[in-house]
Amino acid sequence: MSQNTQQLMLFCTVVVLFVTACLYGQQNVRVLSDALNHLLQTTTDMEGRLNTTLRISEPIRYSGAEVLHTVRQMTGTTVSVQVDGIAYVIDPLVNRRGTIPVQLAASYRPEFIRSGTGELLKIAFWKEASTP
């Protein structure tokens, strides 16, 4: 075969594959659109039987070990971490023996402070009083 014939066959193959991919993508978009329309119709048909909330039913609690891990992971980011009102920055690469006075078995309540745009600015952990 001549080189021109080979190039023509290669070009035709590429065109066929491109058209096939476009048709396959169009079919996927149609299937997803139909699924979303069906979901919208199902939700509309529920007529108020669907109840959504923006609150968490049970408050989040962290153990002391999770607090230590969070402080070490947030070091080097723009997010500051406070434990009982004191800010801590411990870089495990610089100071491996840096400690934070937390009780590993204690329970801590996190408080996430965000900017007006939703960007996380600070995480504050507050130790909860234990009940004997």
Convert 23-59 to b/e letters by CB count within 10 Å (16 or more is b): eeeeeeeeeeeeeeeeeeeeeeeeeeeeeeeeeeeee
One domain, residues 35 and 68:
no
Q: What is the pLDDT of residue 110?
A: 87
Q: What count of other Cβ atoms lies within 10 Å of the Cβ of residue 66?
A: 15
One domain, residues 36 and 79:
no
Q: What is the pLDDT of residue 23?
A: 96
The dihedral region occupied by 85, where left means phi > 0, alpha psi between -120 and 50, and beta the remainder, is: left
One domain, residues 8 and 45:
yes
One domain, residues 99 and 120:
yes
d(CA 68, CA 70): 5
Q: Is 11 exposed, middle or buried (0-12, 13-18, 19+ CB in 10 A)?
A: exposed
One domain, residues 71 and 116:
yes
Q: Among the three residues 26, 52, 78, which one is the final residue of a domain in this structure?
A: 52
Q: For residue 92, is it within any domain?
A: yes
Q: For residue 114, is it within any domain?
A: yes
Instruction: Specify the number of domains making up the chain.
Output: 2
One domain, residues 47 and 85:
no
Against a cut of 0.95, is the pTM above it?
no
Q: What is the pLDDT of residue 104?
A: 83
- Report how far Cα 3 is from the mean position of its chain's Cα atoms: 53
pLDDT in tens, the chain (132 residues): 688 999 999 999 999 999 999 999 999 999 999 998 888 888 777 766 656 555 555 668 888 888 888 777 776 677 778 888 887 766 656 666 666 778 888 888 888 888 888 788 888 888 887 655
Residues of the domain holding 108: 62-127
Q: What is the pLDDT of residue 12?
A: 96
